């Protein structure tokens, strides 16, 4: 598109004086009157009597109007931005936002995995349980069970009284030998009989280290009677031998392998978006 000035003339649209300019657009010439930055469209050159417009003819000089766009209304303005660069700017911003969102998700997921994943596996308790029954022939025997552990006692055809006492009260050699259960003659704990309580047919208790449960079958209700004992003791399992690679290291490696590709993709998206946006703003 080229343009040339014909001289000064009066604009038929607004009545004011301006520069009469002929522009070559799409293979045809059109007449405009330029008032500063405002252009008024007059019509095609072959249908406009330029001599009536011109008041001061001048030499036909090329104008710096080749890059300026005209509108059907005759108003001329500055050159708008390239649609391709506008689209590039929008796409660049979208890429930056997408990369930032992906990076944020990867970081949050990594923190959650580090918080929830166990750093190490500790020992697991193993419950060892022992049970046995004793046939009762009278009320002259007290049965002692040493702690620690969960003790359950059940009687059939009899009732019994109980006492939880420090093992030191018994002064028994079987305790020092590490035995957990032993029958004791009533005469040996005569000084403790007033401290026994209850008339139970079943009883459960948790014994701490250094404690003993004394069970005294004080009344027989049938010709055949028995007392059953159950002792459950929690014991820590042996620790596994040290491994060349710890569980924490394996978990960290798995999390790293999952997170690094996402962070790399996020960084590429942000870099591409930034470069695209920067290019769109260049002249």
CATH code where residue 213 lies: 2.60.120.20
Is the pLDDT reported for residue 5 higher than 60?
Answer: yes
The boundaries of the domain holding residue 49 are: 2-62
Neighbouring residues of 112: CB distance < 8 A, sequence distance ≥ 6: none
Q: Tell me if 205 is assigned to some domain.
A: yes
Render pLDDT for 132-190 as a digit per residue (tens, 0 to 9): 889 998 899 999 888 788 999 999 999 999 999 887 777 665 665 556 788 888 988 88
Q: Tell me if 78 is assigned to some domain.
A: no
Is the pLDDT reported for residue 260 higher than 70?
Answer: yes
Return the DSSP state at 172. Answer: -
Bridge partners (DSSP) listed for residue 217: 160
> Rounded CA gap, 39 and 74, in Å?
6
132 with 216, same domain? yes
Average pLDDT, the chain: 78
> Rounded CA gap, 219 and 212, in Å?
22
Q: Tell me if 164 is assigned to some domain.
A: yes
Q: Tell me if 241 is assigned to some domain.
A: no
What is the average per-residue pLDDT within 111-140? 68
195 with 130, same domain? yes
Number of domains composing the chain: 3
252 with 204, same domain? no
52 with 98, same domain? no
């Amino acid at each position: 598109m080229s343009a040339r000035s014909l001289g000064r003339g009066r604009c038929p649209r607004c009545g004011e004086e301006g520069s009469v300019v002929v522009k070559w657009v799409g293979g045809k010439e059109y007449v405009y009157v330029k008032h500063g930055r405002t252009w008024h469209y007059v019509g095609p050159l072959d249908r406009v009597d330029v001599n009536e417009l011109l008041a001061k003819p001048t030499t036909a000089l090329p104008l710096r109007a080749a890059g300026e766009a005209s509108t059907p209304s005759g108003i001329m303005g500055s050159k708008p931005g390239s649609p391709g660069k506008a689209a590039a700017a929008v796409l660049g911003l979208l890429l930056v936002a997408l990369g930032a969102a992906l990076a944020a998700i990867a970081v949050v997921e990594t923190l959650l995995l580090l918080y929830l994943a166990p750093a190490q596996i500790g020992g697991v308790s193993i419950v060892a349980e022992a049970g046995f029954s004793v046939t009762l022939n009278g009320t002259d025997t007290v049965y002692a069970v040493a702690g620690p552990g969960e003790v359950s006692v059940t009687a059939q055809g009899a009732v019994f009284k109980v006492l939880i006492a420090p093992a030191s009260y018994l002064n028994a050699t079987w305790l020092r030998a590490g035995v957990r259960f032993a029958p004791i003659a009533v005469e040996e704990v005569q000084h403790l009989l007033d401290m026994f309580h209850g008339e139970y047919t079943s009883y459960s208790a948790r014994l701490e280290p250094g404690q003993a449960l004394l069970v005294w079958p004080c009344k027989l209700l049938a010709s055949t009677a028995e007392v059953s004992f159950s002792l459950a003791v929690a014991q820590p399992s042996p620790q596994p031998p040290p491994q060349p690679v710890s569980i924490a290291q394996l978990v960290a490696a798995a999390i790293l392998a999952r997170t690094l590709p996402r962070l790399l993709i996020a960084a590429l998206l942000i870099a591409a978006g930034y470069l695209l946006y920067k290019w769109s703003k260049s002249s």
